[in-house]
A and B are shown apart, each in its own frame.
Chain A
Amino acid sequence: MKLRLPVALLLGASILASCAKKLESITLAGSTAFQPFAEALAENYMDTKQDINVIVQGGGSAVGINAASTGAAQIGMADLVVLPAEAAGLVPVVVARDGISLIVNPANPVADLGLEELRRLFNGEIRNWKELGGRDAEVTVVSREAGSGTRSSFEKIVGGIELTDDAIVQDSNGTIRETVANDKNAIGYLSHGLVNDKVRAVSIDGIAGTSESIVSGLYPLVRPVFFLTKGERSGSIKDFIDYVLGPEGQAFIVEGGLIAAK
């Protein structure tokens, strides 16, 4: 009787050990905008490859770059217009493109904004929706945190943004959407694939952020999603990235509201 527990533990441990030997593990970390896609792609990929385990973590683009450089993750995910200096030692590959949608509360009558108006809104120069033909109400600017790829892409494309001190800062696409959905006077931005009917996307200089306008290049707020690896891709890492870039992976990405890499 006394022997039973240690024996069972030993057996369990040896089974686990043999599993660990068989399974090769790839870790992805970074962009929260691409994270749900990466998770689903990893699931699908693992269905076909029994011996490779793909782990997906979030954290934001800056975390992805850090993790890939330090080796904490084999693949860093970053959705930035321009890769920062820290990513210089990494090999990038574009796996998808993603539009950034400007969202307002459905009750807000403003339906179109220009890039200049966006700049002045996020700089705190336009403080009342009245100035843009909306209600007489103060604007609540909602922004991502400083390490966000969506934020740095948005600020890069719009240009000249010195975010107003009054801006509310939220640390994920989901909480941005929640905040805007709950505040009649809020404006925020998030990944095109994550807009739902609780918020309304505004068009930019008359161009709505649809999949078509993003593919055609008419919609200005588009950033690439990078997979970053340390050194050339090889072995199972290359195999996984090839799967993501292949017809099946790309079809899945397009289905989910992002834009294919090529």
Chain B
Amino acid sequence: MKATRLSPRPDTARRATRREKLVEAALLAVACSSILSLALIAAFIFKEGLPFMIGYGPGKFLFSSEWRPKAGLYGIFPMIVSSLLATFGALGLGAPLGIASAVFLTEFAPSAVMKVVKPAIELLAGIPSVVFGFIGVMIVAPFVRATAGGPGLSLLSAAFILGIMILPTVTSISVDALNAVPQSYREGALALGATRWQATRMVVLKAARSGLVAAVILGMGRAIGETMAVIMVAGNAVKLPSSPLDSVRTLTANIALEMGFAVGDHRKALFATGVVLFAVIMALNGAAMTAIRRKGRRG
């Protein structure tokens, strides 16, 4: 009798399984909808952009420096270079700062400090990019102009602002990566006579390396995709920059600036710009995934 009391009556059990199945199907549909929308977006961008790119000549489109839509010239090389330079510039600032603050927070700071600083850094991620752009225009660009010369609205200003913008991404993912390193590693190193810093440098950072790489790559994805702040501070001149003080236009800025009025081939060229951006971001995300998977295997 005890067993019958514990197990539910057969019809109740059947009803419960049916409900479970229903919930499962609904959740599956919801999960699929996000994948579907991604697939639709990708299909749409490629459908609009790829035929143009092939018709115009991928080599000419990717590697020529003349972007003059009125004259039918669509070369996005300067924008590819500018996007990459701004992104790597941002990483040059954001990656060391982000990882260093993560190391401080996980390895050295008392937990009270962690409780205050980590939410504060994550709050940075909630600031709208137009606000970063505004700060860039009002403070960073005039400062660059006054101290280094040039127009101020420049690659350097853009990279600086982007560097600040990716800090929360890099920091919080690095913190997670460092926290995932088993405590026993630290204890082992300390027991062998290593100082706190030696343990961090030689053991913890090595063990968390792939997680840190993932943090940097995700920050990179954020930087290359940023649009509003970059439009405001980069100056948007279409040319290959010859110094960090030159004004540049990124791929995202090009699409956002011209999409409103572009028609015909010009519009398709902007979609093709989107295809290039899409490919770059997919490659970066793919790299991040690989890095994270590798961490899982070792870990």
Given contacts A62-B261, A146-B261, A147-B258, contact A165 B239 (CB under 8 A): yes
A182 touching B262 by the CB < 8 A rule? no
Q: Kindly list chain A residues whose C-beta atoms are within 8 Å of the C-beta of B145.
A: 182-183
A204 to B232, CA, bound (A): 29
B151 to chain A, nearest CB (A): 4
> Can you give 24 contacting A-B residue pairs, CB < 8 Å?
A60-B261, A62-B260, A62-B261, A62-B263, A63-B261, A145-B236, A146-B69, A146-B70, A146-B258, A147-B261, A147-B262, A165-B238, A165-B239, A166-B237, A166-B239, A166-B247, A167-B237, A168-B151, A168-B237, A169-B257, A175-B232, A182-B141, A182-B142, A186-B151
A179 touching B260 by the CB < 8 A rule? no
B153 at the interface (CB under 8 A from A): yes
The main secondary structure of chain B at its interface with chain A is: loop
B263 touching A66 by the CB < 8 A rule? yes
B258 touching A182 by the CB < 8 A rule? no
Number of A residues, CB within 8 Å of B: 25
A169 to B246, CA, bound (A): 13
Q: Kindly list chain B residues whose C-beta atoms are within 8 Å of the C-beta of A86.
A: 263
Given contacts A165-B237, A165-B239, A166-B237, contact A147 B142 (CB under 8 A): no
B94 at the interface (CB under 8 A from A): no
Q: Kindly list chain A residues whose C-beta atoms are within 8 Å of the C-beta of B142.
A: 182
Contacting A59 at CB < 8 Å: which of B151, B232, B247, B260? B260
Residue from the set A61, A147, A169 with the largest chain B CB neighbour count within 10 Å: A169
A169 to B258, CA, bound (A): 11
Given contacts A140-B151, A146-B69, contact A168 B261 (CB under 8 A): no
Within 8 A of A (CB), among B22-70: 69-70
A146 to B256, CA, bound (A): 12
Q: Kindly list chain B residues whose C-beta atoms are within 8 Å of the C-beta of A185.
A: 151
A27 at the interface (CB under 8 A from B): no
A103 to chain B, nearest CB (A): 16
A168 to B262, CA, bound (A): 20
Q: Kindly list chain A residues whose C-beta atoms are within 8 Å of the C-beta of B249.
A: 169
A60 touching B235 by the CB < 8 A rule? no
B103 at the interface (CB under 8 A from A): no
Q: Kindly list chain A residues whose C-beta atoms are within 8 Å of the C-beta of B247.
A: 166, 168
B161 at the interface (CB under 8 A from A): no
A203 at the interface (CB under 8 A from B): no
